[in-house]
Every structure is written in C-alpha cells, then in structure tokens.
Amino acid sequence: MLASRRFLSKFLAQYGEVDLVVDGLEALDAYLIANKDKEPYDLICLDIMMPKVDGVKVLKAIREFENKLELKSEERVKVIMTTALAETDYVNQAFDIGCEAYAAKPIDTNKLIEVIKKIGLLKEKDV
C-alpha cells in the first residue's frame, strides 16, 4: 500500500499540490482542515481498504459534511476510489455514496489522466 500511495503522490504532484495521509482518519482530518482554512481539495483519491477507517466510510463522511453545508455539485470535492480488490460491492457502494470514478491498482497512469479529464479537473493542454 505504501508503494502505491507514494507512486500516486509523485505522479499527481506534477499537476498540483499533493497531501499524503496514512489512514482514513487522517484523510478525513485533512479534508476538514482544508475546508476550514477555505482551501478545499479539488481531488481526493481514497483507497477502499485504508487502516482505521476505510475509504467508503471516509467518502460517506465527506458527502454528509458537504450535504450539511448545502454545497452544489460543482462545489463538491471530486473523489476517485482506488483498490486492488476485485470486490465490486465496495465499488458500487462508493458510486452510490457519490464518488466520481474508480481506479484499479496497479494504477494505470494513462487511464487515471483520462478519468481526471473526464471529471473536469484537467484539460488537454494541462497534460
């Protein structure tokens, strides 16, 4: 898990600032702090199987927080779920809760870029 986290962090750093966390609680804390500081994230990549709190629960907490703030869909953070699991139930649950996309591990960077473009965070000129 550490290797894929580092790889993803280095890869995404060429497109902007990247924060790296080690578990679901840190992910949720980072999200809440960024919002409090009025510097919300554009994109969060969540692993479905994170220590302490799994990615699906983190996603649910993020979407509930956004609902309380009554954020419009274009104001909400874009979330890509990542996993090495072939477990479609988790992926389907994440889509039901509101993730924008899913990336299987090992991460295919070309596919990831296409997904990020599709959800509106990258333009052709940015790549």
pLDDT value for 49: 87
The full set of domain ranges for the chain reads 2-120
pLDDT value for 4: 77
DSSP assignment letter at 84:
S
Q: Residue 103's closest CA among 27, 30, 26, 5?
A: 5
| Residue 45 half-sphere exposure toward CB, CA atoms < 13 A | 25
Tell me the pLDDT tens digit for each residue of 77-122: 999 998 887 677 888 899 999 999 988 888 899 999 999 999 999 8
**CATH topology for 2-120?**
Rossmann fold (3.40.50)
pLDDT value for 125: 64
Tell me the pLDDT tens digit for each residue of 18-45: 999 999 999 999 999 999 999 999 999 9
